Structure 1
Amino acid sequence: MSSAKVQKIINDNGVVVFSKSKCPYCNETKSTLRSLDTEFQILELDQMKDGSDIQDALQEITKQRTVPNIFINGKHIGGNSDLQKLSTSQLKGLLKEAGAM
């Protein structure tokens, strides 16, 4: 999958988490977002035929190869540790801007 297609997924969704189903950091990210009643798009790369291509495209876009790879309102947040560093009020503000709350 090309970087342009991945960028379109990011642009078309308020909150996107590129994840792997068995990754504990991904699960923590999804749990955090669910606890705030967030609407978000999850792409489980390990369950997708073109998952490694998407991961390659994400590396081109963000310079980050690891998952989770989180975007809110088109802005790259980073990984789980970056999400967890945000205060609840900061995170809620970002999610409201994205129309995900």
Structure 2
Amino acid sequence: MAAERVRALASQRAVVIFGASNCCMCHAVQTLFTEMGVSWAVHELDKDPRGKDVERALAGMVGRSPPVPTVFIGGALVGPTDRVMSLHLGGQLVPLLRQAGALWL
């Protein structure tokens, strides 16, 4: 049930970040996307009454706990901060964002 909720939330926008309000790595990922001109949505699990269930589902998806931040682009799981940064440094993030309709440049 929580995994279905994750998929539904992840499909609502081109870029969706599951995070926590006090997470510095969540802030770093949000800043990266903002500086790239990408509009994103964030779901802060610590402010969600069902956040613990979502957190467990995300941990299973990414294979680590805590699983925040976890990024979805175009409804597809990209992963945590290290995966996003790796894609960015490798020049693969911009094409992925363009394909999802999150970036038009």
**TM-score normalised by length of structure 2:** 0.84
Over residues 12-46 of structure 1, what are the superposed CA-to-partner deviations in whole Å (9 max), with x where a residue is unaligned?
A: 32111000111111111000010011111100111
Count of equivalent residues: 101
Distance 1:47 1:70 in 2: 18
- For 1:60 and 1:7, the matched residues in 2 are separated by 13
Shift >6 Å, 4+ stretches: none
Ranges in structure 2 where 5+ consecutive residues have no aligned partner: none
- Aligned CA RMSD, in angstroms, stands at 1.7
Larger CA deviation: 38-47 vs 53-62: 53-62
Check the 8 A contact 1:26/1:67 in 2, yes or no. yes
CA distance in 2, matches of 1:55, 1:32: 23
Answer 1 or 2: higher relative contact order, Cα 8 Å, separation at least 6: 1
Q: State the identity %.
A: 29
The reply on whether 1:86 has 2:87 as its aligned counterpart is yes
1:21-100 aligned within 5 A: 21-65=21-65, 66-87=67-88, 89-100=91-102
CA distance in 1, matches of 2:7, 2:27: 23
